[in-house]
């Protein structure tokens, strides 16, 4: 028994190894449970043993040998007391296929379970594992290989294809005999027969016996109409049939001839009027397109054939071209067509006597409808007639030629100008002409040996093919209508106007321009006339206008727009500022809607406040009073405005000015920040400085400036890094006004190059910068003992007047500019060697002048110690000095100057050599203030008009520019 158990283990392991080798093994198991299907095995039941293995497994049927399973004890003895234990068989599928059939559970009798109708359904050749199990006992299994079942049907293994009619299939069909599970029944030898549906015939060997379950056809085919689908049916007694569809092609070899077109018009001695056409067909009647066999024409009854009587077929059709017969008129003859190896075909024909000869041509149908470039609407027909005027109906070969006589070098025939007679009539098919519409041409028809015949024919326009400019657009104000509107013609290929055309013509402009107005026009009698078309574009630019219509070639022209109607006006700026009494031309720019500048426009001018700004008809605005007004320029309803502000300078100091409203403006070089606008950018025109502040006085030095605010505080800006002239204690150049340190209240200031001085409202004098007393970055008292009510500084010295009128000077004395005998540098104010009392003093670079209280004007320095009267000087109320010239202002405001004049700074229009005596400034002006600086002089008249002369800054220029004038010139703002 142990050996038996070991053998079972070996079998199981062998099965495992076979499974690993690629076989499908079905595993069987027993479960320790009981159920309604049977009773539990006896207590001494230990194992199951297959005593008779199942064998012979046809798919779908019973095992040929039914399995027997015994219930045994641990010693391998059958448990004979076991009755009713239910032994169950199961099958493990392989690749999803395989199932048991019949009774799968059998009760034991005396320890033996005998199956009666067990079987399987599966794939033939596949090894399956059948397992037998009883709850509580180990299961046992065996292997069984499925074989084909009973044959039930046919199946196409390969379909017939490529079916030339009447010949074997190129690909022969192959049919399998199969069981219900689709297994090929390799033992089947059943006959399989091929049949075809109605209208066709099966050919070749149509019945084949299966070999190893497969019937292979070798010569089967089909005879039927090419291109028609037929059904092939494969059948075998007792088995389900299988079908396929097949479409035959023409046969490979023709078998017979047929006449497609009968010969007719058999006039003795000439070619048939209608030539015969013969087809080469297969048995099914299909024309065989691969055949090029020759077909020969024969005639019986003593007649003979003429012309070419043997013709090679093309694509299975033989077409005769010159065949005819010679026989007895009125006799019926048989025409026979033959080809080697093929069944012949025939037709009958009656010979006709040869007609009388043609002697003339006659126009049966005149040509008509001569649209240029196309065929005649009515094609001409020409009859060949005999001398009696009868149409020679037997003439089937005469060729008639058409010609056209040109007119003025134009006119030509198109199409086929020759045609062959048929039944004595020559009919042209596609004859036409090209010519000038409205011109009458002569159309002539000729045949060799016969007189020609002619007819007149008048050309009409042909089919429309394109557009042509009949009149070009001229005069193109941008955005408006052309002065001369374009006119476009619809023409045929010969350039004739197609008067019947109503095509819609559209106008478009090339890139950068826009077509405006009515840009489409419908043709009337072939001509489209535009009425409001125009173009919008850049004036002076060449654009292309393109005229197009659906399906027609376009026409084009170039156009150069000119400025159009005024659409907008722009002022040169939104706002401008003028000086009082300044006149300035305002130049608005008018543009059309394309942005082109419109010249020659007459504007209507207006001012919102003519008392402040008056505007003349030419656009010149004149500043009459301080304030602001809105100046407008109009063209109709289109208007532009510009704000014009008017300011008046109360005083001018070199590169800064103070308005009557106390507002500060500066200009010029700005590399040190002397303009004071927060930048270091040069300014050609005045810019407002510290606009939130109000000032009473302004002063200019070299590269820096200062001003006194309404509260008496001093503010300075500009060059400061070298000499600390700003007075705020900083060591850098300042580009905005900085408060002078000390909180002092000043009445006046004086500036030059190296230092600044000022007098407070309490007559205390302070200086800062590189002063005669030393470098001081903030105001330092000049003297604790000397009070001054005015001060004026030169290059490196200064002079002042005490409240008592005494003139005091200090600083450098290299050329006796201190009025002292000793060439000594003084750090504190001291009287002149020759004491002087004065009401006004002005210090130049190395010379000083003063208005003596005793009368007259005196000067000293430049080597002269004692004050010397200025000859010819009128009584002055005030003096101003530059490094090289001096000016005085009388109580009535008349200005005089003397000194250097290389740039005309004396203002009298005199020679540049200068003057040692005061000369009156030209122009008869009355000034309220004067200032002198380097080579220029400026002043403000009593009516607040600003003037400068010498070399001064042109405030109206776009870039920093100097103006030079030897007489006063009114200042202008840009």
What value does the mean pLDDT take over residues 687-703? 94
Has residue 9 got a pLDDT over 60? Answer: no
pLDDT for 585-626, tens place per residue? 999 999 999 999 999 999 999 999 999 999 999 999 999 999
Return the SS3 of 15: helix
Global pTM exceeds 0.85: no
Band (pLDDT 50/70/90 cuts) for residue 784 is: confident
- Which residue shows structure tokens 């058999």? 266
Q: What was the pLDDT predicted at 974? A: 86
Has residue 34 got a pLDDT over 70? Answer: no
How much of the chain is in helix, strand and coil states, percent to nearest 5? 0, 50, 50
Has residue 57 got a pLDDT over 80? Answer: yes
Average pLDDT, the chain: 92
What value does the mean pLDDT take over residues 480-497? 96
Q: What was the pLDDT predicted at 355? A: 64
Q: What was the pLDDT predicted at 43? A: 75
Q: What was the pLDDT predicted at 40? A: 64
- Which residue shows structure tokens 């700074």? 905
Q: What was the pLDDT predicted at 785? A: 78
What value does the mean pLDDT take over residues 241-254? 93
Report the percentage of the chain scoring pLDDT > 90: 87
> Residues 707, 700: contact at Cβ < 8 Å?
no
Band (pLDDT 50/70/90 cuts) for residue 37 is: very low
Distances from the Cα of 608 to the Cα of 571, 577, 630, 645, 853, angstroms? 16, 15, 5, 12, 52
DSSP 513: -
b or e along 431-465 (b: 16 or more beta carbons within 10 Å of the residue's beta carbon)?
bbbbbbbebebebebbbeebeebeeebebbbbebb
Residues 462 and 372: their CA atoms lie apart, in Å, by 4
Band (pLDDT 50/70/90 cuts) for residue 505 is: very high
Of the ranges 150-154, 326-330, 893-897, 932-936, the best mean pLDDT one? 893-897
What value does the mean pLDDT take over residues 329-353? 91
- Which residue shows structure tokens 């001064």? 952
Q: What was the pLDDT predicted at 17? A: 32
Return the SS3 of 435: coil
Band (pLDDT 50/70/90 cuts) for residue 957 is: confident
């Amino acid at each position: 028994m142990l050996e038996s158990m070991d053998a079972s283990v070996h079998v199981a392991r062998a099965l495992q190894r076979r499974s690993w080798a690629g076989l499908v093994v079905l595993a069987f198991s027993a479960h320790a449970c009981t159920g309604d299907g049977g009773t539990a095995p006896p207590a001494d039941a230990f194992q199951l043993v297959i005593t008779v293995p199942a064998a012979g497994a046809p798919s779908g049927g019973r095992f040929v040998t039914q399995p027997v399973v015994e219930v045994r004890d641990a010693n391998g003895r059958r448990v004979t007391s076991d009755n009713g234990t239910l032994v169950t068989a199961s099958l493990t599928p392989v690749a999803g296929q395989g199932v048991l059939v019949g009774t799968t559970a059998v009760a034991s009798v005396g320890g033996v379970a005998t199956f009666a109708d067990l079987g399987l359904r599966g794939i033939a050749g596949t090894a399956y594992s059948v397992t037998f199990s009883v709850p509580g006992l180990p299961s046992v299994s065996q292997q069984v290989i499925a074989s084909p079942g009973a044959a039930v049907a046919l199946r196409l293994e390969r379909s017939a294809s490529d079916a030339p009619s009447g010949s074997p299939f190129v690909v022969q069909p192959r049919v399998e005999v199969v069981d219900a599970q689709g297994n090929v029944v390799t033992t089947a030898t059943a006959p399989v027969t091929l049949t075809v549906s109605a209208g066709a015939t099966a050919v070749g060997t149509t019945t084949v016996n299966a070999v190893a379950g497969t019937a292979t056809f070798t010569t089967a085919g089909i005879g039927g109409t090419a291109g028609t689908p037929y059904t092939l049916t494969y059948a075998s007694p007792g088995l389900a049939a299988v079908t396929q569809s097949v479409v035959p092609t023409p046969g490979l070899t023709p078998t017979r001839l047929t006449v497609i077109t009968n010969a007719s018009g058999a006039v003795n001695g000439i070619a048939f009027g209608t030539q015969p056409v013969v087809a080469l067909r297969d048995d099914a009647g299909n024309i065989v397109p691969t055949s090029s066999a020759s077909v020969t024409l024969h005639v019986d009854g003593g007649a003979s054939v003429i012309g070419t009587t043997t013709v090679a077929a093309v694509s299975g059709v033989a077409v005769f071209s010159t065949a005819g017969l010679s026989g007895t008129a009125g006799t019926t003859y048989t025409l026979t067509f033959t080809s080697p190896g093929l069944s012949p075909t025939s037709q009958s024909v009656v010979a006709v006597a040869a007609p009388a000869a043609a002697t003339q041509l006659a126009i049966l149908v005149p040509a008509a409808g001569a649209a240029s470039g196309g065929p005649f609407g009515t094609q001409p027909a020409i009859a060949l007639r005999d001398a009696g005027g009868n149409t020679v109906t037997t003439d089937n070969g005469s060729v008639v030629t058409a010609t056209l006589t040109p007119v003025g070098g134009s006119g030509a025939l198109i199409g086929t100008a020759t045609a062959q007679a048929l039944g004595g009539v020559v009919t042209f098919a596609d004859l036409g002409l090209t010519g000038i519409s409205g011109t009458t041409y002569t159309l002539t028809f000729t045949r060799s040996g016969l007189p020609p015949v002619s007819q007149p024919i008048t050309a009409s326009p042909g089919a429309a093919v394109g557009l042509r400019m009949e009149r070009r657009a001229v005069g193109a104000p941008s955005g408006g209508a052309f002065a001369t509107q374009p006119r476009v013609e619809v023409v045929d290929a010969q350039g004739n106007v197609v008067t019947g055309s109503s095509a819609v013509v559209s106008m478009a402009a090339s890139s950068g321009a826009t077509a405006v107005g009515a840009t489409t026009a419908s043709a009337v009698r072939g001509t489209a006339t535009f009425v409001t078309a125009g173009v919008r574009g850049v004036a002076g630019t060449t654009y292309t206008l393109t005229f197009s219509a659906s399906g027609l070639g376009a026409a084009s022209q170039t156009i150069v727009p000119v400025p159009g109607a005024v659409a907008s006006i722009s002022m040169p700026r939104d706002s401008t500022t003028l000086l009082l009494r300044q006149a300035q031309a305002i130049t608005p720019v008018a543009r059309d809607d394309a942005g082109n500048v419109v010249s020659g426009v007459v504007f209507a001018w207006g001012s919102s406040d003519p008392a402040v700004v008056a505007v003349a008809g030419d656009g010149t605005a004149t500043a009459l009073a301080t304030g602001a007004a809105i100046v407008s320029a109009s063209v109709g309803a289109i208007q532009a405005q510009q704000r014009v502000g008017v300011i008046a300078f109360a005083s001018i100091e070199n590169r800064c000015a103070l308005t009557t409203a106390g507002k500060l403006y500066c200009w010029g070089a700005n590399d040190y920040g002397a303009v004071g606008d927060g930048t270091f950018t040069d300014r050609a025109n005045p810019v407002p400085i510290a606009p939130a502040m109000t000032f009473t006085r302004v002063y200019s030095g070299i590269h820096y400036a200062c001003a006194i605010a309404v509260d008496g505080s001093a503010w300075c800006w500009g060059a400061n890094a070298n000499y600390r002239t700003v007075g705020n204690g900083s060591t850098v150049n300042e580009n905005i006004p900085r408060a002078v340190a000390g909180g002092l209240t000043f009445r006046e200031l004086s500036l030059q190059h190296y230092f600044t001085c000022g007098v407070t409202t309490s007559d205390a004098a302070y200086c800062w910068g590189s002063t005669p007393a030393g470098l001081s970055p903030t105001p330092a008292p000049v003297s604790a003992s000397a009070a001054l009510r005015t001060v004026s500084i030169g290059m490196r010295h200064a002079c002042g007047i005490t409240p008592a009128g005494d003139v005091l000077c200090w600083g450098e004395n290299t050329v006796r500019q201190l009025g002292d005998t000793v060439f000594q540098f003084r750090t504190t104010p001291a009287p002149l060697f020759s004491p002087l009392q004065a009401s006004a003093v002005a210090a130049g670079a190395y010379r000083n002048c003063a208005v003596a209280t005793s009368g007259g004007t005196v000067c000293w320095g430049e080597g002269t110690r004692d004050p010397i009267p200025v000859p010819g000087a009128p009584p002055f109320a005030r003096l101003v000095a530059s490094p090289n010239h001096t000016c005085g202002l009388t109580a009535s405001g008349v200005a005089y100057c003397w000194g250097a004049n290389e740039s005309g700074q004396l203002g009298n229009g005199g020679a540049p050599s200068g003057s040692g005596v005061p000369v009156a400034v030209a122009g008869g002006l009355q000034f309220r203030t004067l200032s002198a600086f380097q080579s220029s002089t400026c002043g403000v008249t009593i009516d607040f008009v600003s003037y400068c002369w010498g070399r001064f800054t042109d405030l109206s220029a776009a870039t920093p520019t100097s103006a030079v004038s030897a007489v006063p010139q009114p200042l202008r703002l840009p």
